[in-house]
Amino acid sequence: MQSEITREFIDQIEDAIERRDTEFILSNMEEMYAVDITTVLYELNTEQSKYVMDVLPSDVGAQILSDLDSDVRTNFLKNFTTEEIARYINEMDSDDAVDLLNEQPVQRKEEIIALLEDQEHVADIIDLLHYDEDCAGGLMAKELIKVNINWRVGQCIEEIRRQAEDVEKVYAIYVVDDRDKLVGRLGMKTLILTNDNTPISEVYEPDVISIESYKDEQEVATVMQKYDLDAIPVVNIQGRLLGRITIDDVIDVIQEQAELSRQLMTGITENIEEDDSVFRLSRARLPWLMVGMVGGLLGARFIGLFEGDIAIIPALAMFTPLITATGGNVGIQSSSIIIQTLANKTIMFDNFTSRIIKVLLVAIINGLVMSGLVLGFNVLFGVELTLSIVVAVALFSVVLLSSFMGTVTPMILDKYGVNPAVAAGPFITTANDLLGLGVYFMVAHMLLTL
């Protein structure tokens, strides 16, 4: 049952916890989806949440634990004994079990593994512990249905019956040869529509997209998305079937990637969330603020060099915010467009020169429009003509320069394997600010000393 979780419901649950009314909690929660129960737990304190977990059946608890954010889970599990954790892990898919175990201190991890019951499950988990979190091997689960190419359809159905308990959702049936090498797949539809006596070799689909276990999670996401797959088999370098990755895990990767890019753009160095500690939030934000600060101080020194010009026309200083803001905006727009292109990779053999020419054309149009407007505005409002011209020329130069920098920097970063979203972050923004100031005062100096 999909549930709308209300403040009232939370209050009722809290009351029930208070009076240790396990029956009320069970009868109200056992029909709920695990993910909705998780939402409720987020509203309770640790002690209350632990109580609810103790009341719920361990398969539900296992799902809840799988749903939790890694940080939250690590903290929450400090309140559980190793026996309790082992009981949950017995109910988890191997990929979720490994994620949880990897968050535990080494000794505790060993203790929990020693307490697990099902030896096949333990073997799967130990196998998965070898893989790096960020690669295909680290995303995969061992639970899958595989059949031998020499079997018949009837045997295949028997095998599904045998494995059905472990495999929550059958996306596809993988066909392997005698040496466990992946040779194809069998659709559920084919299985349903085919006679039990048909040899699998006659009906299987030999064309199957797989991914090697060492490939990066980003590549897994790209391949699954490109070919619209809901599950992808993972193989080793010899093509032996190791596990499978399902699309829900990959959606998480896609979203994390989007969040990471945004954080890079906004200059936050760690993967933080609003409910992290004040200290952690400060620490994650300070480094990039420092970069901006040093830039600002350098800017101050730089403006100091032109104190002579400012003394001649004090109003020169008035327009520095206009210049730096425009440079920043143009730079970030340019970066955003090129970052998007680099992320999509639809255009492959693109011509660098023609791309830059286009960027500069757009910059010239926008620069002319803005300079013209600023010139008109200044003349209209009685700003001195020389100063007005200085500002307009400087603005135009800044738009051109920022467009160029904003486009080229992400391309260079991407070429050297750095996430191009960094270019939209404070480091480059600060550099752009300084460049803008430089151009402004240089143009001003030149025109004023003519």
Residues between 415 and 434 with contacts to a copy of itself, criterion CB under 8 A = 424, 426, 429-430, 433
Comparing CB distances to a copy of itself, the nearer of 317 and 418 is: 317
In this chain, which of 114, 123, 312, 369 binds a copy of itself, going by CB under 8 A? 369
Amino acid identity at 439? V
Comparing CB distances to a copy of itself, the nearer of 261 and 397 is: 261
Q: Quote the least distance from Cβ 365 to a copy of itself, whole Å.
A: 4
Q: Quote the least distance from Cβ 215 to a copy of itself, whole Å.
A: 12
Give the contact letters, 270-309, x = binds to a copy of itself (CB under 8 A), - = no. --xxxx--xx-xx--xx-xxx-xx-xxx-xxx-xx--x--
In this structure, the strands spanning 173-176 and 241-246 are: unpaired
d(CA 137, CA 122): 17
Asked if residue 73 binds a copy of itself (CB under 8 A), the reply is: no
Give the count of beta carbons closer than 10 Å to the beta carbon of residue 356.
15
- Chain position carrying tokens 């939790």: 68
Q: Quote the least distance from Cβ 84 to a copy of itself, whole Å.
A: 24
What one-character-per-residue DSSP string does 380-407 give? HTT--HHHHHHHHHHHHHHHHHHHHHHH
Check residue 424 and report its DSSP letter.
G
# residues contacting a copy of itself (CB under 8 A): 118
Residue 212 has, within 13 A of its CA and on its CB side, a CA count of: 7
**Region from 85-93, 113-121, 130-138, 325-333 binding a copy of itself, contact rule CB under 8 A:** 325-333
Comparing CB distances to a copy of itself, the nearer of 344 and 449 is: 344
Tokens representing 99 are 């994620």
d(CA 359, CA 349): 18
Check residue 169 and report its DSSP letter.
-
Short-list 155, 160, 123, CA closest to 142: 123
Asked if residue 43 binds a copy of itself (CB under 8 A), the reply is: yes
In this chain, which of 12, 28, 74, 333 binds a copy of itself, going by CB under 8 A? 333
Asked if residue 213 binds a copy of itself (CB under 8 A), the reply is: no
In this chain, which of 319, 394, 401, 413 binds a copy of itself, going by CB under 8 A? 319
Site for a copy of itself in 74-133 (CB under 8 A): none
Q: Quote the least distance from Cβ 127 to a copy of itself, whole Å.
A: 24
Task: Determine which helix (DSSP H) or strand (DSSP E) holds 431, and give its type and residue range.
Answer: helix 426-448
Terminal alpha carbon distance of the chain: 78
In this chain, which of 126, 310, 313, 431 binds a copy of itself, going by CB under 8 A? 310
Q: Quote the least distance from Cβ 220 to a copy of itself, whole Å.
A: 13
Cβ atoms of 134 and 122 closer than 8 Å: no
